[in-house]
């Protein structure tokens, strides 16, 4: 019998993410009415905003009809329109809760949210039971499905009506026991720009995680009109965009200008559309060049964008596009040092070869090692940090490029006075080609990411560690 006038409420279960919902049902002599699924009220009480795309109904004539245990690669919101069921759910996801079981009865006044990878089964307790479920993906032959035998002795579900007395399909009877089930793997993470400085650091950071994939620019064309179907995007949870056009000076003239807009804006907009359409988290790496650097204070995340040159304009445009994705992280950084050609490696080489360089002395900032950015991205994704913009650089005392060059000379056993500090204008006076304007102050405020629990590395300590490792090679 349907219970009337309950308050809307949610109750967690022993299976992570599986939630039982009590629904208000209003009835009189004519019958009853309920809001079976109400997005605004339920998300406020903790229901994931799971974005259903299809509503299915399974009608069952007889008492004892039994279906399951099926785990699909999508979320389900299960309820009963008429009748009553005994429901059983088994966690078939890869991880520590694999094999966990929950059972309960569902009538029109209750519903249950079933996360992706949790096996779902039911047995009807009344004739003419209409079982309904919302799902947030369409069935596909290419998707990953996992099944468990209804009579598995390990999970030992206590069915109200013995299985040898019920209507059940031959397929359901043939499903494997728990020991033979292949657990459903987590949704995947895709790293783009996987061969760049940050991409290589992300490869190292996620080397122990099987469900992280890596793609270079040649392996996935972000400007293709087939991007929407280039992957089964519902199998993914996160895209980390480590790809960017970073030739700051070349971006000031054609063909670099077109290339910068194509990579930093057009491709990013395509990714944003895919992420929004498939409820993915999009992680995008931004730059201090979105600011003009005229302030003497560290730049906070909410400072108005004020780029000086084409590269900075494309990064600012990319940030604006990514901010429209419901689940996004814009990781703003500066002065990146990673594997391969970089400022630190260049200065160390000049020091060792006896070259006395002229280095810009009127731009101030902190080095950011690519490994720190990769570590910070993983922290934001795994810690439950709120989506949004986060500054992420090395911490510690800001210095000019010339001062950092002198540190490199000292740490490589060379005379720091060999480094000659010059103004930016003087440095580029004889440049062959266009020169992009640079922010004078590239120091970013780190309070927000530190409040999330992340501890950035001191950039000078990291510099010393990097040069010690270089000398040991």
Buried b (16+ CB within 10 A) or exposed e, 182-213: ebbbbbbbbbbbbbbbbbbbbbebbeeeeebb
DSSP string, 5-27: SPPPEEEE-SSTT-EEEE--EEE
pLDDT band, very low/low/confident/very high, at 347 (cuts 50, 70, 90): very high
- Number of domains the chain is built from: 2
What is the domain-level CATH number for residue 102?
A: 2.60.120.10
Judging by beta carbons within 10 Å of its beta carbon (0-12, 13-18, 19+), is residue 259 exposed, middle or buried?
middle
DSSP string, 295-351: -SSPBPTTSPP---SHHHHHHHHHHHHHTTSSSEEEEEE-SEE-SSS-HHHHHHHHH
427 has catalytic annotation: no
State pLDDT tens for residues 49-73: 999 999 999 999 999 999 989 999 9
305: nearest Cα among 329, 287, 322: 287
Q: State the greatest distance between any 2 C-alpha atoms of the chain, in Å, as a whole number.
A: 96
Buried b (16+ CB within 10 A) or exposed e, 281-302: bbbbbbbbbbbbbeeeebbeee
Statement to judge: residues 127 and 248 lie in one domain: no
State pLDDT tens for residues 157-172: 999 999 999 989 999 9
State pLDDT tens for residues 364-397: 999 999 999 999 999 999 999 999 999 999 999 9
Statement to judge: residues 249 and 157 lie in one domain: no
pLDDT band, very low/low/confident/very high, at 28 (cuts 50, 70, 90): confident
- The residue from 77, 122, 133, 390 that is catalytic is 133
Statement to judge: residues 128 and 251 lie in one domain: no
Looking at 143, 158, 180, the residue that finishes a domain is 180
Residue 76: strand pairing partners: 114, 135
State pLDDT tens for residues 417-468: 999 999 999 999 988 888 999 999 999 999 999 999 999 999 999 999 999 8
Residue 421: strand pairing partners: 359
Judging by beta carbons within 10 Å of its beta carbon (0-12, 13-18, 19+), is residue 179 exposed, middle or buried?
exposed
**pLDDT for the residue numbered 366:** 98
- The residue from 70, 145, 211, 379 that is catalytic is 70
Task: Kindly state whether residue 3 falls inside one of the protein's structural domains.
Answer: no
What is the domain-level CATH number for residue 345?
A: 3.40.50.720
The Cα–Cα gap between 160 and 169 comes to: 18
Instruction: Determine the structural domain holding residue 20 and report its residue range.
Output: 9-180
Task: Kindly state whether residue 329 falls inside one of the protein's structural domains.
Answer: yes
What's the average model confidence in pLDDT over 316-324? 98
pLDDT band, very low/low/confident/very high, at 139 (cuts 50, 70, 90): confident
State pLDDT tens for residues 179-192: 999 999 999 999 99
Task: Kindly state whether residue 139 falls inside one of the protein's structural domains.
Answer: yes
Task: Kindly state whether residue 273 falls inside one of the protein's structural domains.
Answer: yes
Statement to judge: residues 114 and 227 lie in one domain: no
Percent of the chain at pLDDT above 70?
99
Coil vs helix vs strand at 450: helix
Length of the chain: 473
Statement to judge: residues 125 and 211 lie in one domain: no
Statement to judge: residues 229 and 148 lie in one domain: no
Cα four-point dihedral sign 350, 353, 358, 361: positive
Cα distance from N-terminal residue to C-terminal residue, the chain: 75
Statement to judge: residues 426 and 315 lie in one domain: yes
The Cα–Cα gap between 131 and 209 comes to: 38
**pLDDT for the residue numbered 340:** 84
Cis peptide before 360 (omega within 30 of 0): no
The Cα–Cα gap between 50 and 66 comes to: 27
Task: Kindly state whether residue 2 falls inside one of the protein's structural domains.
Answer: no
Task: Kindly state whether residue 105 falls inside one of the protein's structural domains.
Answer: yes
Statement to judge: residues 162 and 297 lie in one domain: no
CB 79 within 8 A of CB 152: no
Q: Which residues have a Cβ under 8 Å from the Cβ of 450 and sit 6 or more positions away?
A: 456
Statement to judge: residues 205 and 114 lie in one domain: no
Statement to judge: residues 382 and 334 lie in one domain: yes
Continuous segment of H or E residues that includes residue 40: helix 39-44
**pLDDT for the residue numbered 473:** 67
Looking at 163, 180, 197, the residue that finishes a domain is 180
Judging by beta carbons within 10 Å of its beta carbon (0-12, 13-18, 19+), is residue 69 exposed, middle or buried?
buried
Statement to judge: residues 233 and 158 lie in one domain: no
Task: Kindly state whether residue 199 falls inside one of the protein's structural domains.
Answer: yes
The Cα–Cα gap between 440 and 417 comes to: 23
245 has catalytic annotation: no
Task: Kindly state whether residue 4 falls inside one of the protein's structural domains.
Answer: no
Looking at 154, 180, 206, the residue that finishes a domain is 180
Statement to judge: residues 255 and 173 lie in one domain: no
CB 407 within 8 A of CB 281: no
Coil vs helix vs strand at 382: helix
């Amino acid at each position: 019998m349907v219970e009337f006038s309950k308050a809307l409420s949610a109750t967690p279960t022993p299976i992570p993410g599986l939630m039982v919902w009590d629904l208000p049902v209003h009835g009189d002599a004519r019958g009853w009415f309920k809001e079976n699924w109400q997005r605004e009220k339920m998300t406020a009480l903790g229901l994931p905003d799971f974005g259903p795309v299809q509503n299915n109904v399974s009608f069952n004539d007889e008492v004892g009809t039994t279906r399951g245990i099926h785990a699909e690669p999508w979320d389900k919101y299960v309820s009963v329109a008429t009748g009553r069921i005994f429901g059983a759910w088994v966690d078939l996801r890869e991880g520590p809760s694999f094999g966990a079981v929950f059972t309960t009865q569902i009538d029109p006044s209750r519903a249950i949210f079933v996360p992706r990878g949790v096996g779902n089964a039911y047995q009807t307790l009344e004739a003419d039971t209409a079982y309904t479920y919302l799902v947030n993906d369409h069935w596909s032959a290419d998707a990953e499905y996992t099944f468990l035998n209804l009579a598995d002795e390990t999970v030992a579900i206590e069915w109200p009506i013995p299985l040898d007395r019920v209507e059940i399909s031959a397929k359901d009877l043939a499903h494997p026991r728990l020991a033979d089930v292949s657990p459903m793997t987590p949704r995947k993470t895709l790293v783009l720009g996987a061969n760049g400085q940050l991409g290589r650091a992300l490869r190292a950071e996620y080397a122990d995680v099987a469900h992280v994939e890596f793609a270079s620019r040649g392996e996935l064309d972000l400007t293709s009109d087939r991007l929407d179907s280039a992957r089964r995007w519902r199998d993914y949870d996160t895209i980390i965009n480590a790809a960017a056009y970073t030739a700051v000076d070349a971006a000031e003239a054609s063909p670099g200008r077109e290339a910068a807009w194509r990579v930093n804006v057009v491709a990013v907009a395509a990714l944003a559309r895919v992420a929004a359409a498939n409820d993915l988290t999009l992680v995008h790496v931004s730059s201090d060049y979105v600011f003009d650097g005229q302030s003497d204070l560290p730049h906070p995340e909410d400072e108005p964008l004020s780029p000086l040159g084409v590269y900075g304009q494309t990064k600012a445009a990319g940030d604006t596009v990514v901010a429209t994705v419901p689940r996004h992280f814009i990781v703003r950084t500066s002065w990146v040092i990673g594997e391969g050609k970089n400022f630190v490696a260049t200065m160390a080489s000049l020091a060792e070869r006896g070259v006395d360089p002229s280095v810009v002395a009127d731009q101030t900032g902190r080095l950011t090692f690519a490994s720190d950015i990769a570590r910070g991205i993983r922290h934001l994704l795994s810690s439950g940090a709120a989506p949004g913009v986060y500054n992420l650089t090395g911490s510690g005392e800001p210095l000019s490029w010339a001062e950092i060059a002198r540190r490199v000379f000292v740490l490589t056993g060379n005379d720091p006075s060999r480094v000659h500090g010059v103004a930016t204008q003087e440095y580029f006076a004889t440049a062959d080609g266009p020169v992009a304007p640079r922010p004078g102050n590239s120091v970013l405020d780190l309070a927000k990411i530190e409040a999330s629990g992340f501890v950035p590395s001191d950039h000078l300590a990291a510099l010393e560690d990097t040069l010690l490792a270089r000398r040991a090679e």
